[in-house]
Structure 1
Amino acid sequence: MKTDAVRGHLDGLLLAVLEPGPLHGYAVITAVQDRSGGVLELRTGTIYPALNRLERLGLLHSKWESVGERRRRCYELTDAGQRMLAGERTAWQEFTTAIGSVLNPDTAPAATRPAT
């Protein structure tokens, strides 16, 4: 799936994969890909700027860790990031319900179903 398809949802995806605990950048990419069953393939040029932006906004905290002779930056959710993730989940549910009601009108809740 193209990166354009996740535009507007990237922050929620990144926050969600970091919810269980800290991950370094490449592990974030792998987690998104794994959790999407391989459908979402995000590029490093998309992920790292987004992680840095989320950190500047106070939604993530990062620290450098050494693994052997290599250093990598690990990211974790802050309390504000947890609250933002909860909001993203609510917004996603509302969005998918609304789109589902349009695409599949027979399954729309009775209050939103067109009169026949």
Structure 2
Amino acid sequence: MVKGDLINTFMEETSSQLPSALTGSRYLSTYWLPRVENLDAGKPGFLVEMEAAKKWILPSPVMDWAEVPYMFIPIHGYFHWSLMVVRIFTITPSHRQVNTYDCGVHVMALTRSLIQLDDKLG
């Protein structure tokens, strides 16, 4: 299965687990990572800097970054793929550094086994 297809299917499959305001919204299909294999598999990280995010995330041509409440970050793991849902433009009390945003743990982390998902999809 092609990575892009897997990620898209993963987003569709997990859409029911997202906040109701986002269910069925364009945000579920707006983001994907063209170079996901280059992410550090061992350290997905908790803090996401805006400039770093722009380097990895490919937004829709009509997307205004100021309007994006969530971004989806598929993380390449050694034996699985994880989809980290990150709330941006909000600072958590414990993360006061400049230009940092909520970590996936504070919002939602959706993780499935690549093998299980691949088997389920046939």
TM over 0.5: no
Higher CA-based Rg: 1
| Bigger helix fraction | 1
TM-score (normalised: structure 2):
0.33
